[in-house]
Structure 1
Amino acid sequence: MVKSTVTPLFWRGGLAVVVGVVSLVCPGVTLEAFVVAFSVYALVVAGIDVMRAFSRDRVVAVGGRLLLAALSLAAAFGPVTWPEVTALVLTVCVSAWALVSGVVEVALFFRYGERAGERATWLLSGLVSVLLGTVLAARPGAGAVTLVSVFGVFSVLHGAFVLIASAGIRRAPYATRRLARSH
């Protein structure tokens, strides 16, 4: 079970570090990628809602699905049409995400049965998330490029903490066996 937990944790941390470095080195490209990725996602959701609307036999379901498709279509073209508003909304969404995930990670610090190092890692990672969310909530109009830079720093720090946690979990079975053999 430990190996099945460690590998995804390792890849999650590594990916966070890579995304953070790319965000810091190329903030403009990262911002454009966020906008394009969201637009593509909303366009795909609109297409799926249209297909689902016509797979129903009730008129109410068709109308509701077509309404959802229209909203998704508007969401797909909104970021391209109004990039400033998109940047502000993106900043608020990332702020909320960072605050909530940070609070959850800090709460994981108080779990019983975890090693001190792992608990400290959750605490530090959670505090970094809460700090990111607080900074973004305080100044959401500061701009999306600033968000990308702060997101880059957050991703590198968060990824590093996750990599440290995965290394600690990976070493735990070996340390336990070594300790058992010594007694």
Structure 2
Amino acid sequence: MKKPYLFVFAVLLCAQQALFAQSFKAPQKFRSFTKMQLNYGLGINDVVNNQKVNPFQIKFMFGKQNEFFGAALGIATGNYKNNGSNGGLNMNTLAFSANGHYLLRSVEDYGSAPFLKAGIGYAPKIFREYAKGLNYDAGAGYVFTNKKGGRYFAELQYHTQRFENFYYQGNNLKAESIGLGVGLWF
């Protein structure tokens, strides 16, 4: 349980450093942004009955950003699935999250830029078929700007979803994956 706290601490420390570095420049206005993305990951640990689950996630984020740093609230739906030999697993989540990103150079100046991102959230049990639990992710990617000004991005990411009170297994279920995310950034 210490890992999520260390993760949140690291994100807040990076955010504080980024905002402090920006304070020596002329004040910049925070602009709104929206990100829509699709993520697919390959499971890297056994969850139940020696099965790895591969998550597919659709995520929407709405937030504010300056030239380099951005923070957003997000909502995501995820499907954690494996068609294994003993029936397979199929778990769904609806998660709410806090997300942050840091651009390593200005998109306005260069048209494209590498970025780092992190997020932490919770999936409540809204419907009977949905699982609940803490989730967090971290990634690195690249934003591309086309000639008409549209922004697209691709990222490599690490994602963890915990499952609380999962039938007879208790609170120790955790699905970890490494995957790829693609989306629109506007």
TM-score scaled by length of structure 2: 0.26
Structure with higher RCO (Cα < 8 A, 6+ apart): 1
Structure with more of its chain in helix, by fraction: 1
Task: Report the structure number with the largest CA radius of gyration.
Answer: 1
TM-score scaled by length of structure 1: 0.27
Structure with more of its chain in strand, by fraction: 2
